[in-house]
Amino acid sequence: MASTFATASTVVGLGSSSLSSPKTKTTTLSSGFLKSSVSVRNPLKQARASGGRFTCFERDWLRRDFNVIGFGLIGWLAPSSIPVIDGKSLTGLFFDSIGAELAHFPTPPALTSQFWLWLVTWHLGLFIVLTFGQIGFKGRTDQYF
């Protein structure tokens, strides 16, 4: 039994010359991520250094707009100021916790302080509103919807 497994056999098609393919034409691959052979005269000015190829991102990809920041801040302050947490608002609780922590200023807030909960919750809501505001405002400007 052991002798049948120990015998060497060739697998047809792997490494045999009978199934080798005829010579094919070699193709060269090019990529937009590799530098092209275009030489740039001024190394500080890289305009059109990619040979005029399509780039993935616009130069001003953030497209900052102060309308989004203003309306987003107002759009978060208004609902977060509604008193729904035991008759207090999220903004009020956050600002009260800031005042309580500033009362013993040189000492930092304890890890068990409610300040951290209100800080994370308030800022998470703000950043979500700003993100959706950016998407909505720029989507409307670019006529996506």
CA distance 12 to 140: 62
Nearest to 65 by CA among 143, 145, 144, 135: 135
Q: How confident is the model at residue 141 (pLDDT cuts 50, 70, 90)?
A: confident
Q: Say what the pLDDT of residue 63 is.
A: 72
CA distance 74 to 132: 14
pTM value > 0.75: no
Give the model confidence (pLDDT) of 58-81 as tens digits.
Answer: 777 677 778 889 999 999 999 999
Contact 131, 68 (CB under 8 A): no
φ/ψ of residue 88, rounded to 5: -125, 155
Residue 72's CB is within 10 A of a number of other CB atoms, namely 21
Q: Say what the pLDDT of residue 24 is.
A: 58
Give the model confidence (pLDDT) of 25-47 as tens digits.
Answer: 556 666 656 555 555 565 555 55
Q: Say what the pLDDT of residue 140 is.
A: 87
Higher-confidence residue: 22 or 60?
60
CA distance 41 to 118: 55
Nearest to 96 by CA among 106, 83, 111: 83
Q: Say what the pLDDT of residue 108 is.
A: 94
Q: Is the pLDDT of residue 123 over 70?
A: yes
Q: What are residue 88's DSSP bridge partners? A: 85
Give the model confidence (pLDDT) of 72-113 as tens digits.
Answer: 999 999 999 999 999 999 999 999 999 999 999 999 999 999
Tokens 């190829």 map to which residue? 53
Could you tell me the residue ranges of all domains in the chain?
Answer: 66-104+112-142
